[in-house]
Structure formats: structure tokens, C-alpha cells
Chain A
Amino acid sequence: MSLATDLPHSEGRASGEAAKTPGTGAEKPAPRRRSRQRRERLFQWLFLVPAVVYMTLFFGYPVVKNVVMSFQEYTTSTFFTGEAPWVGFTNYVTVLQSSLFSTSLINTALFTIGSILGQFVIGLALAIFFQRKFPLNGILRSLLLLPWLLPLIVSSAVWRWILDKDSGALNRFLGDLGIIDTGIPWLTSTSLALIAVVGVNIWIGIPFNLTILYGGLQEIPDELYEAGSLDGATGWKAFRNITWPMLRPVVSVVLVLGVVYTLKVLDIILGLTNGGPANSTQTIATQSYNLSFHEFKFGEGAALGNVLVIISLVFAVLYLRASRRAVDE
């Protein structure tokens, strides 16, 4: 205690103002407490600074820049001259009126809904399956994580070989089973390419769903099932009345996160089909990438990117509400 009282004292002497007003013992504690509080507050802010600086530099700046860019005629010249004339909403009008926009929008919706449905249903089924105790359970579960660990560009390259019409492994397999006579053009038919791409994306997304849902299932206390079985709730009934209601908060988090991740998928589509054939796998994300980095229309690319950001934002708000509810519950 003596040290604590000593230090502020010497401090008071050092700072000119405190030396001029030699206060009585009764006055002293109040400003001291206040200054300590202020110092603590300052510390709190200082600890926030790295995070705030990081967020501003790496999240805030690109987002703001992207919004600004979408209102400019931003071309290759801009990089050298720094000149980017303002064009108002021209980029948005061009992008939204393009005949490709509706195609990309529909593809984005189909791709997202299809991927999420597949990933979630299969992920949930596997999560429930792995709840049972059986030998090699742990090893199998970790093996299922592999798709998640592979770089996306590797996955897409491998799947491109597997799905090849003439010499792909999948068609060979189906042919050997006698199911098909001629190769199915998985990636080169306008009606199949999107399905194939969704299929590959489901394969990639299963581990994420499996892991989170498995974690959620572990949280459900065994007693509930024991009590349920006494009342005759087993199998499907147990799932409907115990598992599903208890899992709901986790489910909403998985679904919303899944949607936001899937909306922006780029590498898989570029690696498998490049948006083709005939734009049948072109999504808003791939189209935005094409505009910016292949056609050098950076303003239009940014505008389309922002459209995607707004769509994601809707789901991000849903996510925030869902996670708040999950905490409440």
C-alpha cells in the first residue's frame, strides 16, 4: 500500500500543476481515482487500436474503395495517371442492364441453394451417423475433413479430370457398370454443367457442415434421449422432437454462414468451367471477376461486386440475428 500511495505523490510533485495546489488529504483521492479511471479507459482504447487499425486497413479500405470505384470510370490508365472520372450510376446501369445479369443472378441463386441443400442434408446425415459409437469412427471422421483441407484450385483440377467426357473416371465407372453407353458431357453440356459444379461444391462443403453439426449434436444431453425413449420417442420421433429443436440454433448459423460463403465462390467455378459452356455456370462472382481482371473494366466489376456484397449483407444481418438468438437461448 505504501508504494501505491508513494508513487502518485512523487508524480504530483513532478507535474507543475499539482505542485502549485497543495491540496489537503481529503481532496486528493477523488481526482486520483478519476485519473486512474481515465488511464484505464485509455488503456482499453489502446488495446483496441491494433484491431481497429487492422480492420480499417484490410477491411474498411477495400470496401470503401470498391464502392468509390463503382462510381468511377476506372480503367488500366487510372493506375498510371491516377485519373478516374466520376460517372455516377453508369456502371451499375450497364451491369444491371447487361443480358448476362439475369443469367448470372439465376445461376448464383441455383448454385447457392443447391450447394447449401446438398451440403446441409448430407452433412447432417453424416453427423448423426457418426454419433454412434463404432470402431474407426474417429479416423473416418478425420478422413472426411480432407476435401476441406485441399486447396480449392487442386480440388477443381482433379474434379475436372474426373468429370471429363471422354476419359474421365466418373464416366468410365458408370460405363463399366453398364449404366451408360456414351460419355456424359458433365462439364460441356449447358444443362449439366451447373449440376456438376454444384455437386463438386457440395463435396467441398460437407466437412464444414459435418463438423459444426456434429459439435451441435454433442451438446445435446444424453438424458433427453433416455427420457424420450421411456416415452416411446426413438428413431425418427426422437430426431423430430429432441434433436431438431435442440440443434436449431446451430442449424441457422450453419445455413447462413454457408450461404455467405457460397455466394462468393469463385475458384471452383473458374477451375471447372470458367463460367461456360455458354455462360451456363456464370455467377455474379465469376462475372465480376471477368469484368475486372479480363476485360479491365474495373468500375463495372466493382459495381457488380457491390451488388453481391449487398446480397451477402442481407444474409449477414440474418446471421447476426440468428447468432444473437443462439446466445439468448
Chain B
Amino acid sequence: MKSAQRTYRPLALAVAALVGLPLALSGCGSTTAASSSETATELSVMDYYNNEPDKSFIGDALSKCGTQLGVTVKRETVPGKSLISKVLQQSSSKTLPDVLMLDNPDLQQIAATGALAPLADFKVSTENFAEGVLSAGTYKDKVYGLAPTVNTIALFYNKDILAAAGVTPPTTWEELKAASAKLTAGDQYGLAFNANPTYEGTWQFLPVMWSNGGDEKKIDTKETEQALQLWTDLVKSGSVSSSALNWTQADVKDQFLAGKAAMMVNGPWQIPALDKQPTLQYGVVKIPVREAGQTSVAPLGGEVWTVPQTGNKARQAKAAEMVACLNSDENQLAMATARNTIPSKTTLSDKFASDNPKLATFTELIKTARARTGQLGEEWPAQATKIYTAIQTSLTGNASPADALKQAQGQ
């Protein structure tokens, strides 16, 4: 038997290793959360700024705050698309980082799971923030996340093309339609926006829908129908390429850069790309409203920083200090300037707008900007799907705006 045992043993070990390996691997990560100490000396951070220059800007801000708080920062950046699946994975294995960044419309989904700690538990100040910013970070009356800087969308226009055609930047829907038609010639479209079947398509439609009093809870209303009629008319008349049905916001920017669109709906994160082309002269105005006198309401974009429930009180407290530090006036201004975004505290907007005239329109819009999840909370993804489905159905001519909205609402 001895010789036989000798041959069995390595095999048995190999089998044991094979069975045990995944278990051992899954066990590894949880050690950080389990050990509880009085003072935290290290913070793990996860965000999706995995591309330059944002990666460095955010990294610098984090390490600066780390030094200030006396902790070393262990940062992990993941691609935007895989952040949520990573967060869900980590929350089921209880290995969430100490500080977690989330895209603001996702906050409610994650807060609803109970994985996040209310910032009030750690006495993090929520004073002076724009109303929309707070509502994006709030789930069931408690603030879970704060965004140091935010963004939104507006109407970019090519100054040279508009001047040559004798067109002034539009402020109402009628003016927008007229201007777009006049600016459409040959290879060039008057306007470019994105109406693709993702949340991006919904996001770009929200300004016209909200400014006209449309409601995301119930989309088959007169107000939303008028907004969808505008989008449909612009595509049907040929002022906007029907490719909008498949474009992303980056594609829209490329069309604008190439001079194939005289105006575009887009956000300030495109500014660095636009500035790289020195011959391009552009201006930014609010997205037109149906009638003069209406307020242009833009959707709020940007990422919130949260403190997950890791079970380690000392580290959670430090993590909350980190969130507070990222949101200090000084940091908000520095990050906004570096990243072409807008500080989320309204008390900072005047100074910021005068220092950064290019971002003045966006800064103005943030004061009244609305969070996508403000009304719907965790119901947002389902309703946003209905909105982009209705947009696509109407823009392809498969149904009138009214019918498209009715169909989608009943889905």
C-alpha cells in the first residue's frame, strides 16, 4: 500500500487544490473588512476614471486628501461599464472599498440594497449644495453620496457657420427649427443630437421634455408629446441626420468637430476635444425652450462619492472625512477647473463662472438642473428605457409621438 499511497497523495492534493482554489480566492478579499482597528491608516477607493487626464486629476485630489487625513490611499479604477457589476459582486462578497464612486443615476439602486452608509451618520456637511445635486445623492430622505463637481448638457454652436448663414443662436423651439433648417446644406446638418437606444438617448431628450413640463413618471402627456414632436420634426425634415438613432455623444461631437453639424447637444466634457482644434470657434447656450419665458431645465450629470457599509467603523469614519475633503470648496474649484466640470455648491458658482467664462452657461444651468432619479429613485432604469423606446419608435416613423409614448408607457 505504501507505494500506492505515494502516487495517490499528489493527485489528492491536486484535486483538493482545484476544489479549494476558488474558495481560497474568494476568501482573500474579505480580510481587509474583517480586521477592525481603532484608527484607520489606509483607505481603499474605487472609481471609474480610468482614462487620462481624469485619472490623474482624481488621483491627485485623492492623494492630497489622503495626506491631509493621514491615510494612504489604495485606489482602483475600473472601466465605466463594469463598475456596477463589480460593485454588486463586491457587495455580495462583502468586499466593498472604503470609498466608492458611483454615477449619480446608479446611486439609488445601490443605496436601496443597504450597502451604503448615510453620510449624516458621520456628520458630513451637506450645506450649500445645489438642490439637484443633493436629490441625486439622496435615497429615502437620507443623503448617501456627494458630487464634488457635476455637469449637464447644453447647445454648442459653431460661431463661424452661424455667422456666415446670418443665424443667431436659437432660444425657442421655433427658432431652433428655423435655424437648423437654414444651416442644413450639402454635407452639413443644422443640428446633431443623440437618440440612441440607451440611457444616453433619454438623457439628451430630457432638457426639452422637462423644460416643457414633461414628467418622467407618466410619459404619455401633452407636454412630453410636444417635446417628442420637436425631436421627430427635426429628424423628419432632415435638419438632423437619422444617424442620431445610432450615435453616441462622442459621435455627435465628432460630427460637430468635422463641421458636419452646425450645432450640437452635448456636455462640457467635450470641451478639451473641441479646444484641440484651434480653428473651431464655438459658443454655448442653453437648450431652447418651447416658449420664451419657460426655464431651460437640464439633467444633472456627474459622479457621487459614497461610504459603503464595510463594518469597520474607524475606516468608515475616515472614508466619510475623505468624501468631505473631496467636497471642500477648494477641491471643488480645483477639480472643476481641471476637468471642465461645474462645482456642485451654488455658493461657488459666481466665482467659478467669472473665472471660467467657457463654462458660464453650464454653471448657470446647474442651479436648476434636475437629478434623473429625483422622482423615480430606483425605478429610473425601467422608466428611462420606456423613454428611449418611445423616442426611437417616433423618430423612425413607426408611430406618431403620441402613440409611441402611449405604447411605451403601457409596456
Interface residues of A, Cβ cutoff 8 Å to B: 7, 11, 14-15, 39, 46, 49-50, 53-54, 57, 75-82, 98-100, 160, 164-167, 185, 187-190, 273-280, 290, 293-297
CB within 8 Å for A166 and B187 given contacts A11-B1, A277-B395:
yes
Are B396 and A189 in touch, CB under 8 angstroms? yes
Report Cα–Cα, A114/B389, bound state, in Å.
26
Are A187 and B411 in touch, CB under 8 angstroms? no
Are B246 and A187 in touch, CB under 8 angstroms? yes
Are B396 and A294 in touch, CB under 8 angstroms? no
Are A50 and B15 in touch, CB under 8 angstroms? yes
Residue contacts A-B, CB under 8 angstroms, 8 given = A99-B411, A187-B243, A188-B244, A188-B245, A190-B396, A274-B246, A277-B245, A278-B197
Are B1 and A80 in touch, CB under 8 angstroms? no
Give the residues in chain B near A98, CB-CB below 8 Å.
Answer: 411
Are B381 and A295 in touch, CB under 8 angstroms? yes
Are B114 and A80 in touch, CB under 8 angstroms? yes
Q: Beyond the given A99-B407, A188-B245, A190-B398, could you list 17 further A-B residue pairs with CB under 8 A, ordered by the A residue number?
A: A11-B1, A39-B4, A46-B8, A50-B14, A76-B109, A77-B112, A79-B115, A81-B113, A100-B411, A167-B260, A188-B243, A190-B396, A275-B197, A294-B385, A295-B382, A295-B385, A296-B109
Taken residue by residue from 145 to 189, chain B's Cβ proximity to chain A (1 for < 8 Å, 0 otherwise) reads as: 000000000000000000000000000000000000000000101
Of the residues A77, A81, A189, contact of B242 by C-beta under 8 Å: A189
CB within 8 Å for A277 and B197 given contacts A50-B15, A76-B110, A185-B242:
yes
Give the residues in chain B near A295, CB-CB below 8 Å.
Answer: 381-382, 385
CB within 8 Å for A165 and B241 given contacts A278-B392, A278-B398, A294-B385:
yes
Q: Is B276 an interface residue (CB 8 A)?
A: no
Are B113 and A279 in touch, CB under 8 angstroms? no
Q: Is B239 an interface residue (CB 8 A)?
A: no
Give the residues in chain B near A297, CB-CB below 8 Å.
Answer: 382
Give the residues in chain B near A167, CB-CB below 8 Å.
Answer: 258, 260
Q: How far is the CB of A220 from chain B (nearest CB, A)?
A: 43
Q: How far is the CB of A127 from chain B (nearest CB, A)?
A: 35
Are B392 and A79 in touch, CB under 8 angstroms? no
Size of the B side of the interface (Cβ < 8 Å), in residues, is: 49
1-56 of chain B: CB within 8 A of chain A? 1-4, 8, 11, 14-15, 18-19, 22
Give the residues in chain B near A164, CB-CB below 8 Å.
Answer: 243
Q: Is B91 an interface residue (CB 8 A)?
A: yes
Q: How far is the CB of A50 from chain B (nearest CB, A)?
A: 6
364-401 of chain B: CB within 8 A of chain A? 378, 381-382, 385, 389, 392-393, 395-396, 398
Q: How far is the CB of A200 from chain B (nearest CB, A)?
A: 14
Are B260 and A166 in touch, CB under 8 angstroms? yes
Are B381 and A46 in touch, CB under 8 angstroms? no
Closest to A191 in B: B396
Give the residues in chain B near A81, CB-CB below 8 Å.
Answer: 113-114
Residue among B1, B22, B196, B395 having the largest count of chain A Cβ atoms under 10 Å: B1
Report Cα–Cα, A154/B8, bound state, in Å.
48
Q: Is B92 an interface residue (CB 8 A)?
A: yes
CB within 8 Å for A80 and B92 given contacts A190-B396, A279-B392:
yes
Q: How far is the CB of A167 from chain B (nearest CB, A)?
A: 7
Are B396 and A296 in touch, CB under 8 angstroms? no
CB within 8 Å for A166 and B4 given contacts A188-B246, A190-B396, A296-B381:
no
Are B18 and A188 in touch, CB under 8 angstroms? no
Report Cα–Cα, A295/B196, bound state, in Å.
16
Are A80 and B197 in touch, CB under 8 angstroms? no
Of the residues A76, A185, A296, contact of B243 by C-beta under 8 Å: A185
Q: Is B331 an interface residue (CB 8 A)?
A: no
Report Cα–Cα, A280/B18, bound state, in Å.
45
172-220 of chain B: CB within 8 A of chain A? 187, 189, 196-199
Of the residues B15, B189, B198, B244, contact of A46 by C-beta under 8 Å: B15
Q: Is B85 an interface residue (CB 8 A)?
A: yes
Report Cα–Cα, A189/B392, bound state, in Å.
10
Are A53 and B260 in touch, CB under 8 angstroms? no
Of the residues A79, A189, A294, contact of B113 by C-beta under 8 Å: A79
Q: How far is the CB of B112 from chain A (nearest CB, A)?
A: 6
Q: How far is the CB of A263 from chain B (nearest CB, A)?
A: 21
Give the residues in chain B near A279, CB-CB below 8 Å.
Answer: 197, 389, 392
Are A166 and B115 in touch, CB under 8 angstroms? no
Q: Is B88 an interface residue (CB 8 A)?
A: yes
Of the residues B1, B115, B393, B395, contact of A14 by C-beta under 8 Å: B1
Report Cα–Cα, A240/B92, bound state, in Å.
59
Q: How far is the CB of B190 from chain A (nearest CB, A)?
A: 13
Q: How far is the CB of A272 from chain B (nearest CB, A)?
A: 8
CB within 8 Å for A276 and B245 given contacts A11-B1, A76-B112, A80-B115:
yes
Are B196 and A276 in touch, CB under 8 angstroms? yes
109-139 of chain B: CB within 8 A of chain A? 109-110, 112-115
Report Cα–Cα, A278/B88, bound state, in Å.
30
Report Cα–Cα, A46/B11, bound state, in Å.
8
CB within 8 Å for A49 and B15 given contacts A166-B241, A166-B243, A294-B381:
yes
Q: Considering the complex of A and B, which 8 residue pairs feature the smallest CB-CB distances, nearest first? A: A276-B197, A80-B113, A278-B392, A188-B245, A79-B92, A77-B113, A79-B88, A80-B91
Report Cα–Cα, A279/B391, bound state, in Å.
11
Closest to A292 in B: B85
Closest to B116 in A: A80
Give the residues in chain A near B196, CB-CB below 8 Å.
Answer: 274, 276
Give the residues in chain B near A99, CB-CB below 8 Å.
Answer: 407, 411
Give the residues in chain A near B1, CB-CB below 8 Å.
Answer: 11, 14-15
Q: How far is the CB of A222 from chain B (nearest CB, A)?
A: 48
Q: How far is the CB of B332 from chain A (nearest CB, A)?
A: 29
Report Cα–Cα, A33/B299, bound state, in Å.
80
CB within 8 Å for A278 and B92 given contacts A7-B3, A11-B1:
no
Are A76 and B113 in touch, CB under 8 angstroms? yes
Give the residues in chain A near B381, CB-CB below 8 Å.
Answer: 294-296
Q: How far is the CB of B96 from chain A (nearest CB, A)?
A: 9
53-105 of chain B: CB within 8 A of chain A? 84-85, 88-89, 91-92
Are A274 and B198 in touch, CB under 8 angstroms? yes
Report Cα–Cα, A276/B110, bound state, in Å.
28
Q: How far is the CB of B256 from chain A (nearest CB, A)?
A: 13
Residue among A7, A99, A277 having the largest count of chain B Cβ atoms under 10 Å: A277
CB within 8 Å for A50 and B113 given contacts A100-B411, A187-B246:
no
Report Cα–Cα, A27/B91, bound state, in Å.
64
Are A188 and B242 in touch, CB under 8 angstroms? yes
Closest to B92 in A: A79
Report Cα–Cα, A295/B22, bound state, in Å.
29
